[in-house]
Amino acid sequence: MCLAIPALVTAVLADDMATVSLGGVVKTVSVALLDEVAVGDYVLLHVGYALHKISEEEAERTLAMMAEGGLLEAELDEIAGDAA
Amino acid sequence: MKYVEEFRDRALAEKLSAAIRAEADPARSYNFMEFCGGHTHAIFRYGVQDLVPGNVHFVHGPGCPVCILPIRRLDDAIELAERHGVILCSYGDMLRVPGSKRRSLLSVKAQGADVRMVYSTLDALDIARKNPDRQVVFLGIGFETTTPPTALAIRQAADEGLTNFSVFCNHVLTPAAIRHILDAPDIDPEEAVHLDGFLGPSHVSTVIGSRPYEFLSETYRKPVVIAGFEPLDVLQSVLMLIRQVNEGRVEVENQYARVVTREGNTKAQDLVDEIFELRPAFEWRGLGMVARSALAIRPAYAPFDAEARFDLSEKTSREVKSCECPAILRGVKKPKDCKLFGNVCTPDNPMGSCMVSSEGSCAAYWTYRRAETLAEMAKDKAMAEQAA
Ligand code: SF4
């Protein structure tokens, strides 16, 4: 639950929502906690909300390390499993 | 995957490790507390302990929101689901934590209570919209990182006029807990854990900034490095802490500068202020009552406050006997000091909260250091028997 992962904004939607892509999974999230967000931004995603913007370079590096450590799969499973 | 990058990163880890070995003074020992369970997890998962010399010790702090929720509050959540018949929504980690009589949210769900695991407060709001004839309660737990999403859900519910959604608020504050740990030796000398510095919370700091930790250097004279969660982040932060100690500097430094600023996310902070107010005190598992360490929903939003909406009974909640979670959460004991570790208590059959969430100390030892821990336990036992 404490994990926050970098995600790439792929579309900005109405009502402070956006679609993001992380490790190939596309997810609709809230960007209401950010002032401005644009397609191509990397954001730190936590429990369905973008918490902060991050630099692209750092995001890629982090994602690669998480993939290597197997951390990403667990988080992606949790996200994919949320068909509530 | 980008294999080149991975190897570069490995090479960097080796480099950092070599720098730490070169700079750590063999004549002294370095005790650093990582407040966050996320750091504990990273330290074990990537074997960070093996990359630092033996005189650099990690003291695991109480920073796992699942682990520190007192049993009474968990029993309250179970009561909401069982006696009040609400749809209780919770983050997954919470479901398997044993409450009194070893009942968990998962076990009451198996008996028919409507407990649902959600990934986000957005999902909880959706459940409320789709079930207008049922009361839906979101079990709000977590540190400053998880609080803004809860605040937004409450505001959203207010804006939409949802009358069947409320939050059972257990959000807690990290700086107050760290202060409490540092004050503990004054209260009880037995509890004195010598600390040379802190690995500061990373994701929490993306929201509140690094400023709230400045009291640690100013008042308590402890070095702090706000540290990211990746292994390289942790290693680099350890090196920065060692340098502060060696040079006699006491500062708040920010290793996680790619996301953390001194001010944090002010939009999120304002929102949290609008919806929540400070509780005078709140109980933490392991730490007991901690002053000004948690948030309650402001009276203006009382319709969305499960504590105001539902009549929760006074209950006497009981910790599992012999579970050492409370001492482990204070950093004074290790999982090997618990008799139940590995024989009675395992992740499949947890007796205490530290074994449930992957950020808990017992779960980390179980997953990554099981053989060593069990061997140490056997050794300690033999020594105790010999002494007797
Ligand atoms: S091993 Fe189990 S019972 Fe012992 S302290 Fe850890 S969680 Fe509690």
A 10 A CB-CB count for A66 gives: 21
Q: What is the DSSP letter of B51?
A: G
Q: Which residues contact B228 (CB under 8 A, 6 or more apart)?
A: B202, B234, B237, B255, B256, B258, B259
The pLDDT-based confidence of B3 (bands split at 50, 70, 90) is very low
How close does chain A come to B175, measured CA to CA in Å?
Answer: 17
What atom of ligand 1 comes closest to residue B355's alpha carbon? Answer: 7
User: Pick from B171, B233, B172: which is nearest to B199 by CA?
Assistant: B233
* Dist CA B148 CA A1 (whole Å): 14
Q: What is the DSSP letter of B48?
A: G
pLDDT single digits (tens) B137-193:
999 999 999 999 999 999 999 999 999 999 999 999 999 988 988 887 665 656 667
Find the residues whose C-beta lies inside 6 A of ligand 1. Answer: B 323-325, 328, 335, 338, 340-341, 345, 351-352, 354-355, 362
Please name which of A47, A52, A31 lies closest in space to residue A82, comparing C-alpha atoms.
A47
Q: What is the DSSP letter of B312?
A: P
Residues on chain A bordering chain B, Cβ-to-Cβ distance under 8 angstroms:
1-4, 29-30, 32-35, 44, 46-49, 51-55, 58, 61-62, 64-69, 71, 78-79, 81-82, 84
Say if strands B165-171 and B136-142 run parallel, antiparallel, or are unpaired.
parallel
Say yes or no for a CB contact (<8 Å) between A48 and B122.
yes
How would residue A84 be classed by pLDDT, with cut points 50, 70 and 90?
A: very low
pLDDT of B7 reads 41
- Report pLDDT for B18: 87
Name the phi and psi angles at B119, rounded to 5.
-90, -25
Q: Is ipTM over 0.90?
A: no
Number of cross-chain residue pairs from A and B with Cβ atoms under 8 Å apart? 120
Q: What is the pTM of this model?
A: 0.88
Mean pLDDT computed over A30-57: 89
Taking CB atoms and an 8 Å cutoff, what residues of chain B touch A56?
none
Ligand 1: which atom is nearest the Cα of residue B342? Answer: 1
CA B301 to chain centre: 27
Q: What is the DSSP string of A10-66?
A: EEE-STTEEEEEETTEEEEEE-TTSS---TT-EEEEETTEEEEEE-HHHHHHHHHHH
Supply the Cα-derived Rg of chain A in whole angstroms: 12
**Cα B238 to ligand 1 centroid, rounded to whole Å:** 28
Query: A47 vs B267: CB contact, 8 Å cut-off?
Result: no
Strand partners, A43: A7, A53
To the nearest whole number, what is the mean pLDDT of chain A?
A: 78
Please check whether residue B93 is in contact with residue B355, taking contact to mean a CB–CB distance below 8 angstroms.
no
Instruction: Please state, in angstroms and rounded to a whole number, the distance separating the CA atoms of residues A62 and A70.
Output: 12
Q: Is B244 helix (H, G, I), strand (E, B) or coil?
A: helix
A55 to chain B: which residues are within 8 Å by CB? 258
Residue-wise pLDDT for B274-290, tens only, equals: 999 999 999 998 888 99
Q: What percent of chain A has pLDDT over 90?
A: 32
Write out pLDDT tens, residues B91-129: 988 998 989 888 999 999 999 999 999 999 999 999 999
Closest listed residue to residue B220, CA positions, set B192, B179, B161? B179
Strands B165-171, B197-200: pairing is: unpaired
